[in-house]
Chain A
Amino acid sequence: MAKASPRWQRLPPFLVLAAVAATTIYPLAFVAMTSFRPKPDYLRNPYGIPSSLSFDNYVKLIVNYDVLRAGTNSLIVISVALIVTLIFATLAAYAIVKLNLPFKSVFAGGFVSVMLVPGQVLIIPVYLLLSMLRLVDSLPGLMAVYIATNIPFDVFFMITVLRGVPDALIEAAKIDGASPLRILVSIVVPVARTGIVTLGILTFLAMWNELIFGLILLPTEAHNVLTSKMASIGGRFVSNQPILMSGLMITSLPPVLVLTFLSRYLIEGITSGMGK
């Protein structure tokens, strides 16, 4: 808490922040409202109050462009990749922080040093590798890539989280004869759960918003994931804004829901996990 200044002194900062918030909220509200308007009504007056609202745009988009299938593909790829990534990253960080891992600094340094490898270095060789393995245009191929590209940051993050788990708790369980795996499952994970939830959210967002691997690794219509699909078909709707807006709404819904209900974890994680 900064010191409490008199109420009137706080008005100018509030007004500035409210103005900035409006520039964030207004475009989003515009997208939301337009997505429920019939096209003629929208064209008559884009900024006006809609005369009628309906789900027609959503229905048209879903029926004509197989959006549900793309959404299902996204959920399949991400739920598998997310769970596997979190488990592998937690195991690796546990070995690095709490167990007697040989070559500890090699592993820790290795994960951290590949953390900032930009995606564009990987697209060509990963594409060639997966096509050799016949994993292009198959959901498991994209899952594997999402797991691999998210593991470095997730291990790094989990190392920070697990450092916060008191060694005394683990020593006590060891004296009770608990095995390292049992200690991980019954003590470390429950104590570190806030950190794990935060990491789960960050990883989910990274996977949901990923674009380029989705585009090149799942090129056929039946295997498209949602974000990549919207990116590639979005340009067709520039003359039909209400339909485009309904697509943007569907694609943004999961991240916005996550932010709405879990913002506490997310914002805490970003401001504390920042200590890179």
Chain B
Amino acid sequence: MIATSSQNLTKASRPGTSLGASTTTIGRGESLLALAAVTPAAAFVLLLLIVPIIAAFGISFFKTDGVTAQFVGLQNYVRIFTDPLVHAVLLVNLEFLIAVPLVLGSATLCGVLLYERVLGWRMFRVIFFIPSVLSTAVIGLMFKSTFSYDGPVNALITAAGGHPISFFSAPATGIAIIILALVWSGFGYGTLIILAGLSSIEREIFEAAEIDGAGWWQRLWWITLPQITGVLVFVSVINVIYTFTSLFGFVFVMTAGGPGYSTTTLDYLIYQKAFSSADMGSGSALAIIVFLLIGLLTLLQVKLVRPQEV
């Protein structure tokens, strides 16, 4: 580094004489270099993200198993909108939205309490975050075995004199356990974000409120929470998006969508259509619909959350 700068010292002193001409050549060289620097990343994104998205759109107008293809126009979309199975699966997805207020509630509780800087708050912060670094497959298998017929929960129930419950054979308990897994794995991330949001509130506001005689609960309800509305909306929308995009791992390892289709989510249905039924056209059409839905949610999030609030 030092060697280079002294080497180039003589060169560097030169451009000063004919500044105008040399900055344009330097500028052009730099532009080319900049293009070269951005090209590898752009090429990967173009080839493996943008082209596939366009291709998915194209495939959605065909009936295809990946080997042969037949153009069917809008038929895949018409089928999806009229298919009772898709309606049922969409309803299942909506049931998973119960997880959103649960995540938001527990994350807000933990965030607000951590903000009090109680003993060991840094350690708590890390502990709450552990599930967020684990894969949904690992968490799903953990919950599956915990609630399995001969698992530890049923061992407790039996010990207490009850009869073991087959949790995953009934839709309601199956969904409840997946929701539990979702909340367990997601509240730590929400907590961190809410804590970050709280830390950006000016402390004078709290001090003023305290001088005015506001109690802890009053401050929480009238000052703290209103100050972080943007962050709370962000956490909610992110979690709504999760329930449409990130349930695959849980469903795959815990229930495989069953019993019947009672725990099948949209993302799992796309996978099933494409790779179990070799119905790639209809799978793509469904993927495009989910994509638009998520795009809409993301837009909503951008509109609702002003950047400086996050």
Contact = CB atoms under 8 A, between A and B. Distances in A.
Chain B binds chain A = yes
Interface of A: 1-3, 5, 10, 13-14, 16-18, 20-21, 23-25, 27-28, 30-31, 46-47, 88-89, 91-92, 94-96, 99-102, 107, 110-111, 114, 116-129, 131, 144-145, 147-149, 151-152, 155, 173, 175-178, 180-182, 186, 205, 208-212, 215-216, 227-228, 230-231, 234-235, 237-239, 241, 244-245, 247-248, 251-252, 255-256, 258-259, 263, 266-267, 270-272, 274-276
Given A129-B55, A211-B137, A2 B116 contact: yes
Given A92-B41, A124-B284, A118 B135 contact: no
Given A177-B8, A211-B252, A118 B152 contact: no
Given A92-B37, A209-B136, A275-B310, A120 B5 contact: no
Interface of B: 1, 4-5, 7-9, 11-12, 27, 30-31, 33-35, 37-38, 40-42, 44-45, 47-53, 55-56, 59, 66, 106, 109-110, 113-121, 124-131, 133-138, 140-142, 144-146, 148, 150-152, 155-156, 184, 188-189, 192-193, 195-196, 199, 203, 206-207, 210, 241, 244-245, 248-249, 252-253, 266-267, 270-271, 274-275, 280, 283-284, 287-288, 290-291, 294-295, 298, 307, 310
Given A13-B118, A124-B284, A145-B48, 5 more contacts: A47-B152, A95-B34, A144-B44, A176-B12, A238-B151
B33 A117 contact: no
A100 B31 contact: yes
Given A27-B142, A47-B155, A263-B129, A180 B30 contact: yes
30 contacts: A14-B118, A16-B113, A24-B131, A27-B146, A47-B152, A92-B37, A111-B41, A114-B45, A117-B53, A118-B291, A121-B56, A121-B288, A123-B287, A124-B270, A125-B284, A148-B47, A149-B49, A151-B41, A177-B5, A178-B5, A180-B30, A210-B135, A212-B248, A238-B144, A244-B141, A251-B137, A252-B135, A255-B134, A256-B130, A266-B129
Contacts, number: 316
Given A178-B8, A212-B271, A271-B195, A110 B48 contact: no
B123 to A, nearest CB: 8
Given A24-B131, A118-B267, A91 B38 contact: yes
B129 A267 contact: yes
Contacts of A47: 152, 155-156
A244 to B, nearest CB: 6
The 10 closest A-B pairs by CB, nearest first: A177-B8, A148-B48, A209-B135, A125-B52, A231-B137, A99-B34, A271-B196, A177-B12, A92-B41, A101-B34
B31 A102 contact: yes
B184 to A, nearest CB: 7
B111 to A, nearest CB: 11
Contacts of B288: 121
Name which of B38, B118, B129, B275 has the most chain A CB atoms within 10 A of its CB: B38
Given A123-B270, A267-B126, A255 B133 contact: yes
Contact of A270 (B130, B135, B189, B249): B189
A94 to B, nearest CB: 6
A129 B47 CA distance: 9
Name which of B30, B59, B133, B189 has the most chain A CB atoms within 10 A of its CB: B133
A183 B187 CA distance: 41
Contacts of A151: 41, 44-45
A191 to B, nearest CB: 13
Name which of A118, A227, A231 has the most chain B CB atoms within 10 A of its CB: A118
A5 B33 contact: no
A241 to B, nearest CB: 5
